[in-house]
Amino acid sequence: MAVSTRSTRIERVPSAELRLAEDNAALLHAMGIVAVHLIASPGAGKTSLIARTASKLSSRLRPGVIQASLTPEVGSNPLSDLDCPIVQVDTGGRPYLDATMVREALAQLPLADVDLLLIEEVGTLTSPVGCLLGENLRVVVASLPEGDDAAMRYPDPFAHAHAVILNKMDLLSHLRFDRNLFQKAVHRVNPGVPIFEVSCLSGEGLDAWGVWLLNQLEKV
């Protein structure tokens, strides 16, 4: 018994937004900045991954962060110990960043002092993927507790990712999680996309992710 509903898919990218995203991309390119857009469910570990990545790569390049939140009322922020420029964007309840918000955030950042811009999206896998920000790379951060079928249930963000992080590998022995199934489901919607199994708690797997990211920066 399936109910076939009307197609109510949100329209992908309004042209004004697309133009703003292109402006952002041009500005970032002109300033020699590579921007990585991190997309994940709530609690998957985006913030920890940003903290780990920025700290790991800070001897090689100069990171900067744009961090979105639904509300100004956030708790402790793992990024506050980072020695890099951070702009927090309160989306005012809107469930995802848009190019306008990123444009305003870019105006607050010391762009000449940044090589790698990590953009933390609001925590959701259901935002329209077409909502481009002007980023160079999109990375989905999944985590073991979300289940090995995440890419089956939420295919869009996985289908449009340049890389997938599978975080919280430290929990592997405590969960029913089939790594092969996860990988197959991801590659079904995005064949060949690199998947990095990591733990932001133990640090496991973060070297490979860092190497890949540095390689990508050279290509951009």
Binding site for a copy of itself (CB under 8 A): 1-10, 41-43, 69-76, 85-96, 98, 100-101, 104-105, 108, 122-127, 143-147, 149-150, 152-156, 168, 170-171, 174-175, 185
Q: What is the DSSP string of 90-133?
A: E-TT-SS--HHHHHHHHHHS-GGG-SEEEEE--S-S-S-TT---
Single out the residue of 15, 37, 42 nearest to residue 145, CA to CA: 42
CB of 165 to a copy of itself, least distance (A): 15
- Give, in degrees to the nearest 5, the angle at Cα 39 between 191 and 170: 80
CB of 211 to a copy of itself, least distance (A): 27
Nearer residue to a copy of itself within complex by CB, 138 or 217: 138
CB of 175 to a copy of itself, least distance (A): 8
Nearer residue to a copy of itself within complex by CB, 34 or 109: 109
Helix/strand/coil for 147: coil
Nearer residue to a copy of itself within complex by CB, 152 or 214: 152
In this structure, the number of other CB atoms found within 10 A of the CB of residue 190 comes to 21
Nearer residue to a copy of itself within complex by CB, 32 or 42: 42
CB of 155 to a copy of itself, least distance (A): 6
CB of 47 to a copy of itself, least distance (A): 9
For residues 121 and 57, give the distance between their C-alpha atoms in angstroms, rounded to a whole number.
21
Greatest alpha-carbon span in the chain:
57
